[in-house]
Chains A and B, each alone.
Chain A
Amino acid sequence: MSKRAFFFGLLVAALLVFSLYRAKYGAKDTAAELMAVQAQIEAAEKEKALLETELAHMSRRDYIEEIARNDLGMSPPKPDQMASEEDLDQVVGPPVDDRARRTAPSADGTSRPPEATP
């Protein structure tokens, strides 16, 4: 074997050693980075849980109702404030034919044709 081959082998070995240690420290750096990200995720999750808990606390219905009653004068709806679709006629009267209303003569005696619909 020539000297050249010998040194080439040594160079390859040295490169391999270097690569191995580089990979090792790279893995270490990645692990540290991973841990930092993991810690950030955990902190964010804790903060999210805390915020959700605070949100639930602020959403207490008795608390909201107190504000609605005292500050806004609101109260739970009474049955006579609700109506189903079929009851609407009795609540607000029969529907008005809008088309007929628009073609009906106005106060000045003129009439306006219905607008074209697409």
Chain B
Amino acid sequence: MSEASRDRTRLAGLVLCGIFVVMAGRGGYLALSHGPEAKAVQAARMPETVRAEIHDRDGELLVASVRLSSLWVNPSAVWNPDEVYDGLVGLFPDLERTNLRARLGDQKRQFVWVKRQLTPRQKESVMALGLEGLGFREEWGRAYPMGALAGHVLGQTDVDGNGIAGVERTLNASLAAGKAPVRLTIDVETQTALELELETAAEAFSMEGAAAILMDTRTGEIRGMASWPAFDPNRASDFPSKHPARLNRAIGAVYELGSVFKPLTVAAALDAGAVTRTQMFDVSQPVLAGRFSISDTHRFAKSANVTEIIVESSNIGTVHVVRALGVKRQSAFLDLAGLTRRAKIELPGSEAPIMPARLDDLHSATVSYGHGMSVTPLAFLTAFAALGNDGEMVQPTLIYDPKRKVETERLVSPETAAQVTAMMRESVKRGAGRPADIAGYRVAGKTGTGEKAIAGGYDKNANVSSFAAVFPADSPQFALIVTLDNPQARPGRGATASVSAAPVAGRIVERVAPILGVAPRFEDIRTARTEPESRSPERSSP
């Protein structure tokens, strides 16, 4: 090979090497760098964090995240601010007018929010206006497809998607992380039954408010929690912050619940060995406590055992029982039952109880039958449900978790719980709780009517009527409380719990028992069917 040929070969080799170097460089750059299209693909693949859904225990959708349009305006593109202002205010009368008018007239601005999270219909109405300078930005919003159902439990978010009430607030972090749907312990069927029955009671009794809770006595799972007036989170802006519908009366209001406390007092005394089931107490005369005389609404006997005291709802008898128990043991029992603290639940706003400053003889007596001490319906039900769980209390919960280990705390012995449940069954069979005696479902419960506490005393013309129960009495699975705030007497009938809260509770049990898998017992139905005349007429007693 000549020298010239060798040079040409070297040159060609160099050129080829250069080409390969360039190609390798470019290939490497393309492989390692993220071009705009690669970034777009990456962005497309990167899922947007969407606030998690909330379901009921059976997977029914309660809260969803949906795309909503928010309306904005570019004032610099608006030729006639007055026309735009009039159009928008005509469509949305609740707009903050002064600010909007000023901002629309500010030609230096290029972006002003007008209204966040419009419904599709509102968006169509805005588009139909054909105004200049308007635009829409898509945002994630929360929708509550069941409307007001469980509105107090679910709560709401603000326009930026932060939970500000209910479980939306309590579980804000996990919901915002966009993980799997959160499942609640409530079920739509039971919740609907509670709310419909409270709504019906509200129409019948023109009351100020009401609450109902149904809880599984063995697991503490809340199967339904209702508060009336209802609150629809979809229309949260319709309810100002002090609106009565915003209050969840099941956890956020305290009441003197009255005689529903008596079974707890009797349970405490029986369990402590302070009284026995067959012991007789003089109920013929009022008892003195401090400078007050405590009496019964009706005379029924000279002496009575604890079963009759429960059945007849005797204040006198209950005071005798609590005196046998003693203030110290009563106080310890109330503390153990959790009635001296806020009830724990996965909701914000659980109200603290109002206790007497000192549990002296007078207050010990009144607290024994549910007066002089105010608690939330949930706090009471947590303690009361122990009677339907062999004497063990469980922590109520709203979060469904089949793997949750149920922690229990013994309140009374299983024998005491069974005895007091049997007494309450008697109360429903032949006492003031009869309207709740739904044939077949063996309801064991107690009515309670308390004068409504107001600043400086009691309102003699207003009461709080309650009915607390466990069912079925022979093997309790569920505990229920219904509390009606100031039900109005109907013509010919009073407004005591016997004629207000107890029938509501009965209707609830009748509706929810089949849903909850509680089978009616046929013998009871037959007896009720064949012997309707054996029942004595209803009475208005506490």
Contacts and interface: CB of A to CB of B under 8 A. Distances in A.
A84 to B, nearest CB: 5
A44 interface: no
Contacts of B145: 53-57, 60
Contacts of A104: none
- Majority-rule SS of B interface residues: helix
Interface stretch (B165-173, B303-311, B381-389, B519-527): B519-527
A77 B518 CA distance: 13
Interface residues of A, number: 42
A48 to B, nearest CB: 11
Nearest to A16: B23
Interface in B1-57: 9, 12-13, 16, 19-20, 23, 26-27, 30, 37-38, 40-41, 44-45
B45 A38 contact: yes
A108 B422 CA distance: 61
Contacts of B525: 79-80
A92 B100 CA distance: 73
The residue among B37, B441, B526 with the most chain A CB atoms within 10 A of its own CB is B37
Nearest to B6: A1
Interface string B484-521: 00000000000000000000000000110110000110
B65 interface: yes
Contacts of B37: 27-28, 31-32
Contact of B64 (A10, A39, A52, A83): A52
Interface string A60-74: 111001000000000
Contacts of A53: 61, 64, 66, 143, 145
B417 interface: no
Chain B interface size, as a band, is: 35 or more
Given A79-B440, A82-B520, A84-B519, A31 B192 contact: no
B16 A9 contact: yes
Contacts of B526: 90
Given A1-B12, A28-B37, A79 B45 contact: no
A31 B38 CA distance: 7
Contact of A60 (B40, B65, B146, B519): B146
A1 B511 contact: no
A95 B143 CA distance: 53
A35 B44 contact: yes
B529 interface: yes
Contacts of A38: 44-45
B438 interface: yes
Interface string A22-56: 00100110011011001100000010011011111
Given A34-B41, A80-B529, A56 B189 contact: no
B196 interface: yes
Given A20-B26, A54-B145, A59 B520 contact: no
B188 interface: yes
Contacts of A13: 16, 19-20, 23
Contact of B522 (A9, A24, A55, A87): A87
A63 B15 CA distance: 81
Given A32-B37, A38-B44, A62-B196, A56 B16 contact: no
B510 A49 contact: no
A34 B44 contact: yes
B416 to A, nearest CB: 30
A80 B61 contact: no
B83 interface: no
Contacts of B146: 56-57, 60
A-B interface, 10 closest residue pairs, ranked by CB to CB distance from nearest:
A79-B440, A56-B145, A79-B520, A87-B522, A61-B192, A56-B61, A57-B145, A38-B44, A1-B9, A31-B37
8 contacts: A9-B16, A27-B37, A38-B44, A56-B64, A61-B189, A76-B511, A79-B440, A84-B519
Given A1-B13, A34-B41, A34-B44, 18 more contacts: A6-B9, A13-B23, A20-B23, A20-B26, A20-B30, A28-B37, A38-B44, A39-B44, A52-B61, A53-B61, A53-B143, A60-B192, A65-B196, A76-B514, A79-B439, A79-B525, A80-B440, A91-B522
